[in-house]
A and B are shown apart, each in its own frame.
Chain A
């Protein structure tokens, strides 16, 4: 091999290495966490194959642009009378592209008086946040909103 070609090749290879950020490399090589779940798998695990309806009753409050993916505030409000017969049974917060989509499952009771839950989650990149709500009659409602992340919070 000629010296000129060798140097050309070396430069190209190093350029590729630089453009691939460490986080991308890490994410590929790293042993993934024990609970690794995609969004579809997570929804299936929660609903058991039941239909999920998009609903206006569920309102999700997330920032449009999150500067830091490590701390993204999420608020879920569900319209419900919260009586013994008709209340919100569970609120599931999911993130569509995290390696483990499930963030938190909250089991509520009529004592809570409002279908409300707030927390802060980590997001690995720009993606949708999904709130999956189980009502006491066994139906599932859903709301989702995209969040733009400028700096990832995982890894």
Chain B
């Protein structure tokens, strides 16, 4: 198991009510190597290393799935909308092409 990568989930706006439509931003610190770059020290090609699938779920029920290729930037950022149905937990699972798996979650707390 590889070390956990730094990632974060943000809700925009920060304060929201039930039935509001919010943005969910997900950012992960990941090199996203294309496999076309040379390592300056060794002179060998760096192997491709990128996130290839992401799943956003609410209380364990996936609502958005993504397939991603190496053409997405380093430290990728993804943003989708969600209509807040009530209290819950947003979980984002992601895997990369080297089999690394990670999970990040944040509680959804609507006010009012």
Chain A residues at the B interface, C-beta cutoff of 8 Å: 26-27, 30-35, 70-72, 95, 98-109, 111-114, 116-122, 153-155
* 8 nearest A-B residue pairs (beta carbon): A113-B83, A118-B79, A114-B81, A120-B73, A111-B63, A105-B67, A155-B36, A103-B71
Interface residues in chain B, defined as those with a beta carbon under 8 Å from any beta carbon in chain A? 21, 23, 32, 34-38, 45, 48, 58, 63-74, 76-83, 85
Q: Is there an interface contact between B45 and A112, defined as CB atoms closer than 8 Å?
A: no
Q: With A100-B70, A113-B83, A153-B73 as given contacts, are A106 and B36 in contact (CB-CB < 8 Å)? A: no
* B45 and A30 form a contact (CB under 8 A): yes
A87 to chain B, nearest CB (A): 12
**In chain B, what residue has the closest Cβ to A106?**
B66
- Whether the Cβ atoms of B34 and A155 lie closer than 8 Å is yes
Q: Are B80 and A116 in contact (CB under 8 A)?
A: yes
Given contacts A31-B35, A116-B81, 9 further A-B contacts (CB under 8 A): A26-B36, A102-B71, A104-B66, A104-B68, A105-B67, A106-B64, A106-B66, A113-B83, A119-B78
Q: A34-B48, A118-B78, A119-B76 are in contact. Are A103 and B36 (CB under 8 A)?
A: no
CA distance A129 to B65 in the complex (A): 21
In angstroms, Cα B25 to Cα A120, docked, is: 12
Q: How far does the alpha carbon of A60 sit from the alpha carbon of B21 in the complex, in Å?
A: 20
B110 CB to nearest chain A CB (Å): 14
- Could you say which residues of chain A place their CB within 8 Å of the CB of B68? 103-105
Chain A residue numbers with a CB within 8 Å of B65 are 106-107
Assess the A104–B72 pair: CB atoms within 8 A: yes
A71 to B77, CA, bound (A): 10
**Could you tell me if B72 and A100 are in contact, using CB atoms closer than 8 angstroms?**
no
